[in-house]
Amino acid sequence: MSAFTWPPDGSLAGASDQVPAAVLVPLFVSAAGNEPHVVLTRRRADLRRHAGEISFPGGRQDVEDATLAETALREAEEEIGLERAHVSLLGELPPTSTSATNYLIHPYVGEIPAGLAWRPSAREVDAVLELPIGALRSGRTRRAIERRGIRFETDVYVVEDNVIWGATARIVEQLLERLHSTSGSSGGPLELSTVPPAPQ
């Protein structure tokens, strides 16, 4: 379960009754140009739920997971072959809620090395996407989307033929508001500004 993108309602109402889940938001600075990139997945088109949608690697918390951060790291390893030893956690973004699947998603941002070889899960992942932060910033727009016979207009991020919407778009929005790159020409680290407490 790695896509949390329908419906577009981001309300945290009734969050205490929701299923805890976590996603990893992997970031790296490209060797060419020192530009930050974010890693997402595109789900297989033949899946029963969320087919073809773009999301961050993640899922609901298992009983074996001591923390939600552990959930995010485990799911990223299972879905795209990202070994947790390669992840340096930078912080947590505010949680986002979905009503259709009743999840409360906790996004954890982690910096990873550039040039990793991905091993996507053949069962659910069609492709691993490495999208430049600059392209995401400039790709924000609104678009009409139809799901389950319901047509609505919502905020999206469009990079080439990749359309990011729903909970994933809300996480991207929070990321772009808080991400700072100190890399410049020296290849320094990525940083997140202070994250305010999530609404109760």
Give the domain ranges of the chain.
Answer: 15-179
Classify 33 as helix, strand or coil. Answer: coil
pLDDT above 70 for 67: yes
Note the helical H segments in the chain: 68-80, 133-138, 166-178
**Whole-number percent of the chain with pLDDT over 70:** 76
| List of residues 6+ apart from 21 with CB closer than 8 A | 1, 4, 58, 59, 60, 61, 68, 71, 103, 104, 105, 106
pLDDT above 80 for 89: yes
Angle among Cα 182, 187, 191 to the nearest 5 degrees reads 30
pLDDT above 80 for 6: no
pLDDT single digits (tens) 150-197 = 777 889 999 998 999 889 999 999 999 998 754 443 455 788 876 544
Task: Report pLDDT for 102.
Answer: 82
* Type and span of the H or E element at 90: strand 88-92
The answer to whether 109 touches 27, Cβ cutoff 8 Å, is yes
15-179 CATH choice from 3.30.565.10, 3.40.30.10, 3.90.79.10, 3.40.50.620: 3.90.79.10
pLDDT above 60 for 8: no
Query: What is the average pLDDT across 3-13?
Result: 42
pLDDT above 60 for 198: no
Task: Tell me which of 4-8, 49-53, 146-150 is least confident.
Answer: 4-8
The answer to whether 44 touches 124, Cβ cutoff 8 Å, is yes
The more confident residue out of 72 and 101 is 72
CA distance 183 to 172: 20
